[in-house]
Amino acid sequence: MRKYRLVAKKGEGTFSEVIKAQNIKSGTFHAIKCMKSTYTSADQLHRFLPLSTCRMHQVNSLREIQAIKRLSPHPNIITLEEVLFDPPSGRLALVFELLEGNLYELMKDRRQHFDESTVKSFMRQICTALNHMHAKGIFHRDIKPENILVDKRGKHLKLADFGSVRGINSKPPFTEYISTRWYRPPECLLTCGMYGKEMDIWGAGCIMFELSALYPLFPGSDEADQIYRIHSVLGTPNANIVSKLRKHAPPQASFTFPHQEGISLSKLIPSASETYLDLLTRSIAYDAPERITAEEALKHPYFVGGDTFPSATVKSNTDATKAISHRAKITSFVPNPTKISELKKAPETVVQEAKAESQMTKPRSMVSILLARVRSISCTSFAYINTFLLHTDFSSIPILSLLTAT
């Protein structure tokens, strides 16, 4: 690490932290992933080789390093530039090319939706990365916006964080609690680790929706809520699908689900084209074998055809509305009379409810919670809430995290 000057901490996970660093000699910037674990226990090789050599063998055998070596070079896969290992201490750091942001950061504070060409470009790049990875016999297991890095121009994507990868030909069961909950498919939630590469496609489908709507499709607060939200959109699975899942479920698992018809995705994204909705529907098919593959997705009419996904620009007439974050990071609401009646409550009641919800979750602000509800209601209710937002003194409410209008 002596050849690098540490600039800033970019993020931290369970097993590592990422630091922005500058190469002292060349002046170039890099992202260094510092592992929290130390590699000090040698394997059977220590009987024949020096301890430092054994530790280096252990490091080179790490799944993440092996995966990136197999996948590189590729324009949509993060580049591993150097492995820094200190044998005496067992400390390990991976030096990657630096991309300043990720899809989550790109979406979270947007004030208007991405246009059709941007959504299509992003999804093509994601599918290209997944197709390359699956063709190499690897699946990622943690596809989410935070693991898709973006360059400074906000155009070029690269898949990152291969710490959870597994081989496609590996024999399940795998780890049950893998992937981030909001992007976890039913087979991960309902079985004892009986899943495969199809889970990556599910995650990509969730991202596809999020890029268009700017809020997550299935933002469950726990695993039971996650299943409920999936069923509220896709409907309760039929008996054949339930039977297949039950075979690999723990004995205590209950498959008695309340019946839900589900809602058409076209109602959640009214401006979407038929090819967009078809690709999304096939990406988040409840039954894993029915999901489209990454290779098939790249040949889908959505990418090769000419129809469009009309962009829905957020219109605002005042500086107050421009200051509101338009990423609804907690819940996707299905339009129904109950929601409309909720929003017709007295303004102070709406504020108190949103305040309570914002205190239980992060990183949502109270205004973004209110705004999320606006997206799925009638024009009358929209006008009501819009008037409320514009005539409320938010500066008197300390829990708000309003963006500063520029």
Residue with tokens 């500066």: 395
Residue with tokens 């044998």: 87
Report d(CA 134, CA 143) in Å as an integer. 13
170 half-sphere exposure, CB direction, 13 A CA radius: 19
> Would you say 9 and 18 are in contact if contact means Cβ atoms under 8 Å apart?
yes
**Omega prior to 301 cis, within 30 of 0:** no
Burial of 318 (0-12, 13-18, 19+ CB in 10 A): exposed
* Residue 220 burial (CB count, 10 A): 18
Report d(CA 332, CA 148) in Å as an integer. 22
- Residues annotated as catalytic (active site), given as ranges: 142
Report d(CA 375, CA 106) in Å as an integer. 20
Report d(CA 199, CA 266) in Å as an integer. 23
Report d(CA 359, CA 400) in Å as an integer. 10
> Would you say 298 and 127 are in contact if contact means Cβ atoms under 8 Å apart?
yes
Phi, psi of 149, rounded to the nearest 5 degrees: -85, 155
- Between helix 116-135 and helix 198-213 the angle, nearest 10°, is 170
Question: What's the token pair of residue 316?
Answer: 């605002």
Which amino acid is present at 310? P
**DSSP at 363:** S
Report d(CA 235, CA 195) in Å as an integer. 21
Report d(CA 17, CA 142) in Å as an integer. 17
> Would you say 399 and 358 are in contact if contact means Cβ atoms under 8 Å apart?
yes
- Which residues lie across from 391 on neighbouring strands? none
